[in-house]
Structure 1
Amino acid sequence: MRTLVSSLKKAAKTTAVAAVAGMALFSAAPGAQAANLLELNFGLFGPSYEGKVGSCESALWKITHQFQNKEAGYWNSALQFAGFSHVRETAFRPWTSDNIPRRYCSADALFTDGKQRQVHYSIIEDGGFAGYGDGVEWCVTGLDRNWAYNPGCRAAKF
């Protein structure tokens, strides 16, 4: 029992010494300074988001192409879009203006199996490959086989 008490006292002393040393180390560190003239966005380039996002109809060809590739390549299916109707915008830049501009859309789609399903998608400014062109993220209700936007494509909607 006596050895336990003495070892606890040693541990408490060691912890106290380490805490004092840590506080001394941090108090000796220099304070943060503001950026100088050369560090203020000097040499930075990239997309300047202007909110120029294509219309809801402009992304349908890309969705059709990507869906066909995904169905044939991953799911061994010949299912394709047969047509779109009731294409509508559900939101545009729904968050603050500092975020990447997005247009959220929905459409009713007819497929080659004769069924009609909803497609929910977003068009993202400069969201294409390597930041060139508009990117499109989409989900077909009932055909989200890898559950990327489940349940019921809720994550693809606004």
Structure 2
Amino acid sequence: MRDLKSMKTLSLGAALGALLAAITLSPAQAANPLELNFWLSGPKYDGRVAPCESALSTITSQFHEKESMYWNSTLTITAYGNIHEVAFRPWQSDNMPRRFCSGNAQTSDGATRIVNFSIIEDGGFSGYGQGVDWCVTGLDRNWAYNPGCRSALP
């Protein structure tokens, strides 16, 4: 009786192993129509990107946070001027819609610097809301947008 039970278990294990091997070793195939209807529809970018002025409060708060946390600086942005759009969706239409902007930012040390930034549709945390990438010329201390914040533009 025990031999029969262990024989059934062994044959069931062998069958499951063969099934698993067949699944993993089979060539990859494209998604079937049923799979395409569930969660594989792809991005649907509408191109609804906020105007340039809507990002200024985000830039101000993120600039203050970066300066105080990483550079031990009390520098803040106190005013903006000449904010204008540089480009909207400069690349092909199936890329994430972005609005590129530029302008002047006056900092608490009295200097006026150029700020380049982009507003990205679905670019916020976990793809929710609009995200903002920005760079203040002369204060890109980790050279993320080098040279001279030009990499923040298209």
Which TM-score bucket, shorter chain as reference?
Answer: 0.7 to 0.9
1:124 corresponds to 2:120: yes
- Cα distance per residue 1:93-128 (max 9 Å; x no partner): 000110000000001111111110000000000100
Residue 136 of structure 2 corresponds to 140
Contact map agreement 1:120 1:138 (CA 8 A) in 2: yes
Alignment gaps of 5+ in structure 1? 1-29
Contact map agreement 1:47 1:126 (CA 8 A) in 2: no
1:47 to partner: Cα distance: 4.8
| Alignment equivalent of 1:73, drawn from 69, 77, 81 | 69
- Equivalents in 1 of 2:61, 2:121: separation in Å? 19
- Equivalents in 2 of 1:39, 1:69: separation in Å? 44
- Cα distance per residue 1:17-43 (max 9 Å; x no partner): xxxxxxxxxxxxx98866432233433
TM-score normalised by L of structure 1: 0.76
Residue 99 of structure 1 corresponds to 95
- Equivalents in 1 of 2:131, 2:28: separation in Å? 39
In percent, how many aligned pairs have the same letter? 64
- Cα distance per residue 1:78-104 (max 9 Å; x no partner): 111110000000000000110000000
Residue 74 to residue 99, structure 1, CA distance change in 2 (3 Å): same
Give the aligned length: 130
| Alignment equivalent of 1:58, drawn from 54, 60, 81 | 54
- Equivalents in 1 of 2:65, 2:27: separation in Å? 55
TM-score normalised by L of structure 2: 0.77
Residue 26 of structure 1 corresponds to none
Residue 87 to residue 36, structure 1, CA distance change in 2 (3 Å): same
